[in-house]
Amino acid sequence: MSPVKIGLIAQDEELLAFPEVRAVSQAFVDYFNAELMGIDGHPVELDVCGAGDAPEDHVACAQQFVNDDGVNLVITAGFLANSAAANEVLAGAGLATLTLGNDFIDFLMPGVFTLDPGLPGLAQVFFVYAAENRGVTTATGFIADDPAIEPFIPVLDAIASANGISVVEWVKLGFEPDLTGPVSAADTSSEGWLFVLVDGAQCIAAAQAVETVGYEGELFANDLCMSQDVAASGELNGWAGPVVSTAPTVDGVDVEEINRILDTYGGANVQTAGLAGWALGSVMFAREVLAVAGGADATREGTLAALGTHASSDILGMPDTISCPGPGVWTGACNQAPLMVTIVDGEFTAPEPFVLLDFTALDFLLG
């Protein structure tokens, strides 16, 4: 029988890469075909276009899928501007698009949807959680010394202020293995230290510097620090950070089934942390959407309509509040509920439930 294709643009060919996206997505597609009869008896086929860390790579992949009449839905997994560039091509051609939620544009572009709370959600949940669960009113921010990250500082300041937290300073951190110098110069009287970094090595170096300095307040890191190798290092024990899915935790309700599927069908690069939870959730959601759109008989127009009105409470590792479109102008925000995890003994724990946010609370940032 003819396959039902899911397109995937995977950023896994250069230094800033997420190999778990391709690996976990393929494992779940194999699970669909082995245990769920694909889609109405038709096998699901994952059509992967690998890309590097440059927008032109992602645009080329997007154009490849636009030219393939057999692809009606594409998942884009590029970091920052990479997905935005691909999404513009895909949405312009009327292709249903599930993207990684990076910047605000990924939630505002017509025809583009995401299960990732992304910058609006992961930035907001930092401060909602810190204020409501940890009693933080003052914070010092540490941010990667990267021109792609620096523009987010005013956004983070505004969201912090809206939640009653004053960020007293921002400290830029480089990528050297010893960050004790800049960390030791930070304000230790702040009730919380918030780290917005770009890779695991930088996260571990920052944590080692915090230990050396002896800071005893609340510690938070962004989702890019929430990878299995970083957690397993033990350097971030006691730190809290946002993730999209319960997949990497030891106590999420769907963890046993996720691990069973990955153990059965997974190969190299399979893991549950990093972007794995988002990837498996997106592939599961894509299968549901394509089934609603007609499976092997789906059209691009029908698939886009199905994606833009689909809701699900059956996505492993994700909240039961997933629904497209999102609220107000945030049409792409199908998932407004990130999860805050705490690293304990090198493992992710989820002592608190998903934090249900309201993205319209951020309308003031749009001018």
- Under 8 Å between Cβ of 106 and 114: yes
- Count Cα neighbours of 361 within 13 Å in the Cβ-side half-sphere: 18
109: phi then psi, degrees, rounded to nearest 5: -80, 125
pLDDT of residue 151: 86
Taking phi first (over 0 means left), then psi (-120 to 50 degrees means alpha), and beta for anything else, what does residue 254 get? alpha
Number of residues that this document lists for the chain: 367
pLDDT reported for residue 314: 96
Nearest of 266, 221, 218, 260 to residue 243 by alpha carbon: 221
Distance CA 210, CA 219 (A): 9
With CA atoms as reference, report the closest residue to 77 among 61, 89, 91, 92. Answer: 61
Q: pTM above 0.85?
A: yes
Indicate the burial class of 327 (C-beta count within 10 angstroms; 0-12, 13-18, 19 or more). middle
Question: What confidence score (pLDDT) does residue 261 get?
Answer: 98
Residue 331 DSSP class = T
CATH 3.40.50.2300 is held by the domain 120-243+341-366: yes
Cα diameter, the chain: 65
Amino acid at 272: T
Domain boundaries, the chain: 4-116+253-336, 120-243+341-366
User: 3-class SS at 172?
Assistant: strand
For residue 227, the model assigns a pLDDT of: 85
Per-residue pLDDT at 337: 96
In this chain, the answer to whether the domains covering 4-116+253-336 and 120-243+341-366 adopt an identical fold is: yes
Looking at the structure, give the CATH architecture of the domain made up of residues 4-116+253-336: 3-Layer(aba) Sandwich (3.40)
Per-10-residue mean pLDDT for the chain, 367 residues long?
Answer: 97 88 98 98 98 96 98 95 96 97 92 94 91 96 91 91 96 97 98 94 97 98 88 96 94 92 94 93 99 98 99 97 97 97 96 93 88
Pairwise CA distance, residues 201 & 207, whole Å: 10
The four Cα atoms 222, 238, 194, 339 give a dihedral, to 10 degrees, of: 40
Residues 6+ apart with CB under 8 A from 212: 180, 183, 184
